[in-house]
Amino acid sequence: MNRREAVTHVAWILGGVFSAPTLQAMNRWEQIGSQATALRQSGSFLTETQHEIMARVAELIIPRTDTPGAIDAGVPDFMEVMLRDCYRKPAQDTFLAGVGALEQKGFLKLSADQQTALLKQVEAEAQKTSDSSFWLITKELTLLGYYTSEVGVKASFDYQPIPGRFEAIKIKPGQKDFMYGNQA
Amino acid sequence: MNLNIKADKAQTYDAIVVGSGMTGGWAAKELTEKGLKVLVLERGYELKHVEDYKTAMKDPWEFEHRGKIPIVAAEEHYATMYFSAKEGSQYLYSNDKENPYIQKRPFNWIRAYHTGGKSLLWGKHTYRWNREDFLANAKQGLGVDWPIRYDDLIPWYNYVEKFVGISGQAEGLAVLPDSNFLPPMAMTAPEIHLKKSVAQKLNRPITIGRVAHLTKPQPWHTAVGRASCQFRNRCSRGCPFGAYFSSLAATIPAARQTNRLTIVHNAIVKEIILDDKAQKAKGVRVIDQNTLEVREFYAKLIFLNAGTIGSTSILMNSKSARFPNGLGNDSDQLGRNLMDHHLAIGARADIEGFEDDYFFGARPGSLYIPRFRNWGNDKRDYLRGFGYQGGASRADWSRGATETGFGADFKKKMTQPGPWKINLSGFGEVLPNPNNRFYLSEDQKDKWGLPQIVFDADFGENERAMRKDIMNDGAEMLEAAGFKNVVPYDNPVAHMGLGIHEMGTARMGKDPKTSVLNKFNQVHACKNVFVTDGSAMTSASNVNPSLTYMALTARAASYAVEQLKARSL
Ligand SMILES: Cc1cc2nc3c(=O)[nH]c(=O)nc-3n(C[C@H](O)[C@H](O)[C@H](O)COP(=O)(O)OP(=O)(O)OC[C@H]3O[C@@H](n4cnc5c(N)ncnc54)[C@H](O)[C@@H]3O)c2cc1C
Ligand code: SF4
């Protein structure tokens, strides 16, 4: 069993189901014993082009449909904050290498279909390894950024900040997931 | 350093309680209600109930990092953060960098230095110990015999349970005695299925977790300002409803209502001052955590409730001609027999079916599977037993990170409840072992000049043998229910301290030659000092310990006041 699974189980003990992104963060804290200090930058983590690439990637993962998409939810800026504050150097480097590769391939100039096809390749590649990858970091941050944002939560879930009771129920047709705001 | 020693009346109380956490709150409540003027000394900052739970009402998007801990904070809080704290609760965890300790063998020392202590962090699982728990040492010739039995605690369990407010289901089991319950929380459909299958096929009972949440507040709960649980499971950020039991929400308000309570914050109790002639404690010496100013406070009665390691280290630091190795340490037992529960082991599975079943509300609790090993006719090649906490729930959007796909359909799919999953996590008993210990460092000090704690403890053969059963038995139960992809797991990260139930180090016993405290938690050789937190435990049981600490505290406080009145302290 890998570290990530291991920590999930500890998390369960406290009755909390940790989100995948949180577990990723935990993975990193594992390595904290080493001397490397966190990179704490002010200002921008990505170049303007890289930022644009990531906005496009995020929007392909969570596009605007009849509900808002990743860009509407502020995911691109959120990603930068997270990468800067919550990720250690090795993960930051993995991420930067991934954006760099997309940049080299002229990602922004590709058609929407070509972009999607390229990301499918990137995804397939990432699935060959259990290590943290550019794709995993990107997807986790996009999902976390979107599904915990105000627009994302309100558009996607039945948000119940104060449910007032706990009971077993039957699902109604087309029922959205309940969200309780206990994930932070 | 500015010595400001005023032996005047203003510094003198009937009783001093060290620590305002789970047990300190009880000491303060009982002693004030019995008419004593009580001073509580708390080393941490002042945390005010409700108004200081600044993150409690925040929505997910109001957190800059959406719950994750920035790396810098994670580094500073390493021991504790990676395993339970989040952005909304990190303010309740103490900073390891400012409060360093030494790990000769790995130990996670999780601390909460503020009003309420770890009663703001706990998972609220609340179980009585059983009859055998108090007999096991004597029967097996391990450690020392408990100087008390289950019967000695029954009235005190009853007493504290009512005030605490514990939800749960009465089952009439000898292995897990019932408490005084408020209505139980519900089980989900797959959990009910598991309960039935395991009862039928393996003859093991499963009950809903017994947790200190008000499911139906009683007048004595509302009288201190507590209200019903709202099932939002944001407890780790502090509960503005006072719906879970903490000293901040319950015992301290009760003590305040007597008008006999004084709390001084930022007051690190360094040592107990001994009156050499009388062989009694006359007060405590305190270092202000911000100004380093040293002060003394005096009282006829001293209750140590600084947490297991905290209280024992105060005794160790209290050296005198009479007690060169620490107050009450004639037995050389101070710091020894450090125990915990071993965990991070169990089994999990995917659940197919139950697609139509769902639940409303966020339940702050789980299932409980009581000990069945080495119980009744069951005999294993190791001693003692274990229980499980766990439960089933449906995966949420975060499953998407490891699922293939992206785009519009994927986005929509993540808004639907995901498949059910279940986990059973074992809690095993750790045996008392005199070589599992902590002691004070001879050369490393903290910024207040106090010696750092050195931890030197690990699991032994018995614990390791037990772990195999915890994994396999967990898997067996999930299989009995027909769940899929059953995975038994043993997490290599498990070590002492991570069980967050540190116990022992100033054990109770009948004989002053082999124990530190008597049957009323009184230091054998210094009768007006009582230690009523986890330090006192003679063995560890396999159920969560805090209820038993609370019962012991209320019992000791009652005895202490009787003795004071009889002028025998
Ligand atoms: C995440 C987590 C989950 C838990 N879940 C459960 C559970 O489900 N069930 C259960 O039974 N238990 C649980 N526990 C354990 C429970 O929290 C402890 O057993 C309980 O809080 C111990 O009470 P205490 O009074 O001994 O210590 P604490 O509650 O820690 O209080 C000690 C107080 O003393 C103060 N102090 C320390 N040193 C000094 C000093 N030198 N001078 C002055 N003040 C001092 C501290 O600041 C603190 O306020 C859990 C713990 C954690 C961390
Ligand atoms: S779940 Fe209940 S106890 Fe926990 S924070 Fe909500 S109301 Fe308070």
Structural domains in chain B plus CATH codes: 1-47+87-92+112-165+246-340+507-568 (3.50.50.60), 170-244+341-429+459-494 (no CATH)
pLDDT at A24 over 50: no
**Gyration radius of chain A's alpha carbons:** 18
B403 touches A at CB < 8 Å: no
pLDDT at B7: 52
pLDDT at B493: 78
Contacts of B497 (CB under 8 A, 6+ apart): B79, B106, B107, B108, B109, B110, B340, B455
Share of chain A above pLDDT 90, in %: 67
pLDDT at A129: 84
Cα–Cα distance, B19 to B470 (Å, whole number): 35
Contacts of B84 (CB under 8 A, 6+ apart): A10, A11, A14, A16, B93, B110, B121, B236
* pTM attached to this predicted model: 0.93
pLDDT at A37 over 60: no
Task: Say if ligand 1 is within 6 A of residue B124 CB.
Answer: yes
Other C-beta atoms within 10 Å of B498: how many? 23
Cα–Cα distance, B451 to B99 (Å, whole number): 11
Using DSSP's 3-state secondary structure scheme, residue B176 falls into coil
pLDDT at B440 over 90: yes
Candidate from B81, B411, B492 with C-beta closest to A63 = B411
Residue with tokens 């449910």: A163
Task: Say if ligand 1 is within 6 A of residue B533 CB.
Answer: yes
- CB-based contact B438:B505 (threshold 8 Å): yes
pLDDT at A127 over 80: yes
pLDDT at A181: 81
Report how many Cβ contacts below 8 Å link chain A to chain B: 254
pLDDT at A160 over 90: yes
pLDDT at A39: 38
Ligand 1: residue of B43, B109, B118 to mutate (most ligand atoms within 8 A of CB) is B118
- CB-based contact B324:B421 (threshold 8 Å): no
| Rounded mean pLDDT, A44-60 | 94
Contacts of B456 (CB under 8 A, 6+ apart): B104, B105, B435, B436, B437, B438, B439
* Bridge partner residues of B422 (DSSP): B349, B392
pLDDT at A120: 97
Pick from B169, B451, B467: which is nearest to B312 by CA? B451
Tokens of A57: 């990637």
| Cβ contacts of B244 on chain A, cutoff 8 Å | none
- CB-based contact A79:A58 (threshold 8 Å): yes
Tokens of B458: 């690990």
Cα–Cα distance, B280 to B525 (Å, whole number): 9
| Rounded mean pLDDT, A141-152 | 97
pLDDT at A8: 42
Residues 200-239 in B contacting A (C-alpha not used; CB under 8 Å) = 230-234, 236
pLDDT at B465: 97
B389 touches A at CB < 8 Å: yes
Alpha carbon distances (Å) from B394 to A179, B282, B391, B494: 12, 57, 10, 26
Question: For the ranges B88-92, B221-225, B518-522, which has the lowest average pLDDT?
Answer: B88-92
B343 touches A at CB < 8 Å: yes
ipTM: 0.90
Q: For the segment B448-502, what is each residue's pLDDT rounded down to a tens digit? A: 999 999 999 999 999 999 999 999 999 999 999 999 999 999 988 788 998 999 9
Candidate from A17, A25, A60 with C-beta closest to B68 = A25
When pLDDT is cut at 50, 70 and 90, the band that residue A184 belongs to is low
What is the CA(B22)–ligand 1 centre distance, in A? 6
Cα–Cα distance, B268 to B541 (Å, whole number): 31
Question: Considering only CA atoms, which residue is closest to atom 6 of ligand 2?
Answer: B232
B399-432 exposure pattern, b = at least 16 Cβ within 10 A, e = fewer: bbbeeeebeeebbeebbbbbebbbbbbbbbbbbb
Question: For the ranges A93-97, B64-68, B74-78, B404-408, which has the lowest average pLDDT?
Answer: B74-78
| Cβ contacts of B391 on chain A, cutoff 8 Å | 15
pLDDT at A36: 32
| Rounded mean pLDDT, A146-168 | 96
Chain B: closest CA distance from residue A65 (Å): 7
Residue with tokens 């039928």: B200
What is the CA(A93)–ligand 1 centre distance, in A? 40
Q: For the segment B235-269, what is each residue's pLDDT rounded down to a tens digit? A: 999 999 999 999 999 999 999 999 999 999 999 99
- CB-based contact B371:B544 (threshold 8 Å): no
The continuous run of DSSP H or E covering B26 comes out as helix B22-33
Contacts of B151 (CB under 8 A, 6+ apart): none
When pLDDT is cut at 50, 70 and 90, the band that residue A19 belongs to is very low
pLDDT at A43: 57
pLDDT at B82: 59
Give the range with max mean pLDDT: B80-84, B97-101, B347-351. B347-351
pLDDT at A149: 96
Cα–Cα distance, A163 to B355 (Å, whole number): 22
- CB-based contact B337:B507 (threshold 8 Å): yes
Which CB contacts under 8 angstroms, 24+ apart, belong to B318-321? Answer: B318/B271, B318/B272, B318/B273, B318/B274, B319/B271, B320/B274, B320/B276, B321/B276
Q: For the segment B349-366, what is each residue's pLDDT rounded down to a tens digit? A: 999 999 999 999 999 999
| Rounded mean pLDDT, A63-86 | 96
- CB-based contact B369:B388 (threshold 8 Å): yes
B186 touches A at CB < 8 Å: yes
The continuous run of DSSP H or E covering A49 comes out as helix A48-61
Using DSSP's 3-state secondary structure scheme, residue B221 falls into helix
Task: Say if ligand 2 is within 6 A of residue B531 CB.
Answer: no
When pLDDT is cut at 50, 70 and 90, the band that residue A35 belongs to is very low
When pLDDT is cut at 50, 70 and 90, the band that residue B78 belongs to is low
Task: Say if ligand 2 is within 6 A of residue B243 CB.
Answer: yes
Pick from B464, B255, B264, B479: which is nearest to B350 by CA? B479
Question: Considering only CA atoms, which residue is closest to atom 9 of ligand 1?
Answer: B125
Tokens of A166: 């706990």
pLDDT at A16 over 70: no
What is the CA(B448)–ligand 1 centre distance, in A? 21
Pick from A144, A153, A167, A17: which is nearest to A87 by CA? A144
pLDDT at A38 over 50: no
What is the CA(B116)–ligand 2 centre distance, in A? 16
pLDDT at B44: 98
Cα–Cα distance, B255 to B250 (Å, whole number): 9
Cα–Cα distance, B567 to B561 (Å, whole number): 10
pLDDT at B274: 97
Candidate from B69, B360, B362 with C-beta closest to A25 = B69
Residue B192, phi then psi, degrees to nearest 5: -65, -40
Write the secondary structure of B465-516 as one string of H (helix), E (strand) and C (coil): HHHHHHHHHHHHHHHHCCCEEEEEEECCCCCCCCCCCCECCCCECCCCCCCC
Task: Say if ligand 1 is within 6 A of residue B546 CB.
Answer: yes
What is the CA(B240)–ligand 1 centre distance, in A? 20
Q: For the segment B216-240, what is each residue's pLDDT rounded down to a tens digit? A: 999 999 999 999 999 999 999 999 9
Cα–Cα distance, B429 to B39 (Å, whole number): 35
When pLDDT is cut at 50, 70 and 90, the band that residue B79 belongs to is low
Pick from B179, B182, B236, B237: which is nearest to B214 by CA? B182
Write the secondary structure of B54-101 as one string of H (helix), E (strand) and C (coil): CCCCCCHHHCCCCCCCCHHHHHHCHHHHCCCCCCCCHHHCCCCCCCCC
When pLDDT is cut at 50, 70 and 90, the band that residue A10 belongs to is very low
Chain B: closest CA distance from residue A85 (Å): 5
| Rounded mean pLDDT, A41-66 | 90
Phi-psi region of B417 (alpha: psi -120 to 50; beta: other; left: phi over 0): beta
- CB-based contact B504:B537 (threshold 8 Å): yes
Chain A: closest CA distance from residue B251 (Å): 23
* Bridge partner residues of B386 (DSSP): B428
Using DSSP's 3-state secondary structure scheme, residue A76 falls into helix
Question: For the ranges B296-310, B353-367, B383-397, B491-505, which has the lowest average pLDDT?
Answer: B491-505
| Rounded mean pLDDT, B77-84 | 65
Share of chain B above pLDDT 90, in %: 90
Candidate from B74, B87, B489 with C-beta closest to A32 = B74
Candidate from B71, B78, B404 with C-beta closest to A85 = B71
Question: Which atom of ligand 1 is the closest one to the Cα of B110?
Answer: 53
What is the CA(B218)–ligand 2 centre distance, in A? 17
Tokens of A10: 């500890």
pLDDT at A33: 30
Bridge-based pairing of strands B367-369 and B207-208 is antiparallel
The stretches of A68-127 forming alpha helices (DSSP H) are 75-86, 89-104, 112-126
Cα–Cα distance, B258 to B242 (Å, whole number): 20
Phi-psi region of A111 (alpha: psi -120 to 50; beta: other; left: phi over 0): beta
Beta strands in chain A (DSSP E): 158-159, 167-170, 178-179
Chain A: closest CA distance from residue B357 (Å): 5
pLDDT at A56: 98
pLDDT at B404 over 50: yes
Task: Say if ligand 2 is within 6 A of residue B226 CB.
Answer: no
pLDDT at B8: 59
Pick from B361, B93, B368, B71: which is nearest to B205 by CA? B368
Residue with tokens 């279909």: A113
Other C-beta atoms within 10 Å of B97: how many? 10
pLDDT at B303 over 60: yes
| Cβ contacts of B70 on chain A, cutoff 8 Å | 85-86
What is the CA(A116)–ligand 1 centre distance, in A? 52
